[in-house]
Amino acid sequence: MDVNGSVTVLSSALLAVDYVDSVLPENPLQQPLQQAWNHMLQSYTKFQIATWGSLVVHEFIYFFFCLPGFLFQFLPFMQKYKIQADKPETWEKQWRCFKMLLFNHFCIQLPLICGTYYFTEFFNIPYDWDTMPRWPLLLAQCFGCAVIEDTWHYFLHRALHHRRIYKYIHKVHHEFTSPFGMQAEYAHPLETLILGAGFFIGIMVFCNHVILLWAWVTFRLLETIDVHSGYDIPLNPLHLIPFYAGARFHDFHHMNFVGNYGSTFTWWDKLFSTDAQFHNHQQKQKQQ
């Protein structure tokens, strides 16, 4: 498709989102949310909102989404959904994971978060309520960020599995052959930087309000904690996303070490046939 055709398709998509937004009924939560948002703007500086606000959002969302998976290990009726039922979590593994997370979050990710304010200032990203995009556009932007991040993740993740560099960086993340939710960001500091860079590319492409930073980090954390959860929960609403990989897809990557390199979607693995071993494994399980 030529450039003009691409612009036409993108314009049509945005018009569709605007139309859906215009016919939606008014959200009853809109007024209290607006008051809370304006109170935040009046009480804190842009630097505090972009830096410490983003840190609080990240930490709260991360451990909040990890909580259900953590509790599942104590619920016998949930064990039927555990993918690798012969490899239960242990306190020793979870404590080691938690300590590494604190280091990565505050020594690696926090310095990156500190650049959020300067990013918003450089690109004149607004903070006010009136210019905040409505949720249909936010969802579309988050999906666009996920497509970009997944593409970056697939090729860089696959490169980190190269036999000459695997043991130096990515091996840390694979210490757990049976993943659990909190382990989603358990990684070598270099891997945190290399694969984490994909998160920021979508922000640079789509960001038109600071709220997208928080919406995208929420979606990304929800997705990565879900695929690392170790549980294939029925009626998972994330499975409504087209080509969504899911926990069983990524769990096989930790068990097998080869293939299933995508972070969110399955299309790159399907295109390059790096999901062949996974599908063979699925067929054998069905036969058994």
Under 8 Å between Cβ of 207 and 148: no
CA pair distance 146, 281, nearest whole angstrom: 27
Q: Is the pLDDT of residue 6 over 50?
A: no
Give the angle 119-124-126 at the CA atoms, nearest 5°: 100
Structural domain boundaries, residue 203? 49-65+89-229
CB contact burial 131-156 (16+ within 10 A = b; e otherwise): ebbeebbbebbbbbbbebbbbbbbeb
163 occurs within a structural domain: yes
DSSP character at residue 261: -
Q: Tell me the mean pLDDT in the region 109-138.
A: 93
Considering its fold, how many domains does the chain have in total?
1
Give the angle 265-267-271 at the CA atoms, nearest 5°: 150
pLDDT given at position 27: 64
The pTM of the full predicted model, rounded to 2 decimals, is: 0.87
Q: Mean of the per-residue pLDDT values for the chain?
A: 90
Lowest mean pLDDT among 17-31, 38-52, 56-70, 214-228: 17-31
Q: What token pair was written down for 4?
A: 């003009």
Q: Tell me the mean pLDDT in the region 46-66.
A: 96
275 occurs within a structural domain: no
Q: Tell me the mean pLDDT in the region 253-261.
A: 94
Q: Please tell me whether residue 11 adopts helix, strand or coil conformation.
A: helix
pLDDT given at position 25: 55
Q: Is the pLDDT of residue 11 over 60?
A: no
User: Per residue in 19-36, pLDDT tens?
Assistant: 545 545 556 778 888 999
CA pair distance 171, 165, nearest whole angstrom: 9
Q: Is the pLDDT of residue 39 over 90?
A: yes
Selection from 209, 51, 227 nearest residue 126 by Cα: 209
CA pair distance 39, 32, nearest whole angstrom: 10
The DSSP bridge partners found for residue 265 are 244
Sorted by sequence, the CB contacts under 8 Å of residue 116 that are 6+ apart come out as 50, 51, 54, 213
168 occurs within a structural domain: yes
Q: What token pair was written down for 125?
A: 């990203």
100 occurs within a structural domain: yes
75 occurs within a structural domain: no
110 occurs within a structural domain: yes
Sorted by sequence, the CB contacts under 8 Å of residue 56 that are 6+ apart come out as none
Q: Tell me the mean pLDDT in the region 156-180.
A: 94
Helices and strands (DSSP H and E) totals, the chain: 13, 0
pLDDT tier at 88, thresholds 50, 70, 90: confident
pLDDT tier at 217, thresholds 50, 70, 90: very high
Q: Is the pLDDT of residue 7 over 60?
A: no
Give the angle 195-197-203 at the CA atoms, nearest 5°: 130
Residue 212 is which amino acid?
L
Q: Is the pLDDT of residue 285 over 90?
A: no
pLDDT given at position 12: 53
33 occurs within a structural domain: no
Sorted by sequence, the CB contacts under 8 Å of residue 148 that are 6+ apart come out as 198, 201, 202, 205
215 occurs within a structural domain: yes
